[in-house]
Amino acid sequence: MSMKYKVYIETSVLSYYAGRASRDVVIAGHQQSTQAFWKLLHRELMPHVSALVVKEAGQGDAEMARRRLDAIAPFPVLATIPEAEKLAADILTGRGIPTEFPEDALHIAIAAVGGMEFIVTWNFAHMNNPFTKMMIRQAVENAGFECPEIVSPDAFLGDAP
């Protein structure tokens, strides 16, 4: 890649990156992909997080929280500005994200308002699924922003193991 793409690292990716090794085959596979993706981050991508990611990363087990926060310490942090809060509300209203999960809408909105080209997430339930992605894109574009591509870390790995 010659151009570095701006990527928003959502909290689920960070949790797989800094988490303890899992025996669950699916989780272990996500952890492996996330480790491989992390190696690409500074070489080929411009990673960003948000104040929301920092807040979420700092919750829970103290040792794991420290590992997550250390992992993202070098990344620029996008602020939660009023435009992002309004866009998050639009995404919820447009049924892009269920109203019970306003943080997921806010992640997308912060990334869109911040000019990110990709949102990297393991959240297949609400963010990275074909049905919600169409409605998310519609809400973001209707609000006058370009919608980042919502992908998992696997999307950047190609055939890499």
pLDDT tens digits for 30-65?
A: 999 999 999 988 788 999 999 999 999 999 999 999
Residues 63 and 52: their CA atoms lie apart, in Å, by 19
Q: How far apart are the first and last CA of the chain?
A: 19
Helices and strands, counts by H and E, the chain? 7, 5
Structure token digits, residue 40? 């690409």
pLDDT for the residue numbered 73: 96
Say which residues have a Cβ less than 8 Å from residue 119's Cβ, sequence separation at least 6. 7, 8, 10, 107, 108, 111, 127, 148, 149, 150, 151
Residue by residue, pLDDT tens for the chain (161 residues) are: 457 899 999 999 999 999 989 999 999 999 999 999 999 887 889 999 999 999 999 999 999 999 999 999 999 999 999 999 999 999 999 988 999 999 999 999 999 999 999 999 999 988 998 889 999 999 999 999 999 999 999 999 876 44
pLDDT for the residue numbered 159: 60
pLDDT for the residue numbered 2: 54
Query: CA dist 116 to 9, 14, 67, 143, 160, Å?
Result: 10, 17, 25, 16, 24
pLDDT for the residue numbered 161: 46
- CA 101 vs. chain centroid, Å, equals 14
Dihedral sign computed on CA atoms, order 68, 30, 38, 11: negative
Answer for the pair 80, 51: CB distance below 8 angstroms, yes or no. yes
Task: Using a pLDDT cut of 90, give the percent of the chain over it.
Answer: 83
- Choosing among 3.30.565.10, 1.10.10.10, 3.40.50.1010, 3.30.200.20, the CATH entry for 5-156 is 3.40.50.1010
Is beta strand 149-151 parallel, antiparallel or unpaired with respect to 45-50?
Answer: unpaired
Taking each helix axis from N to C terminus, what angle separates 102-113 and 130-142, rounded to the nearest 10 degrees? 50
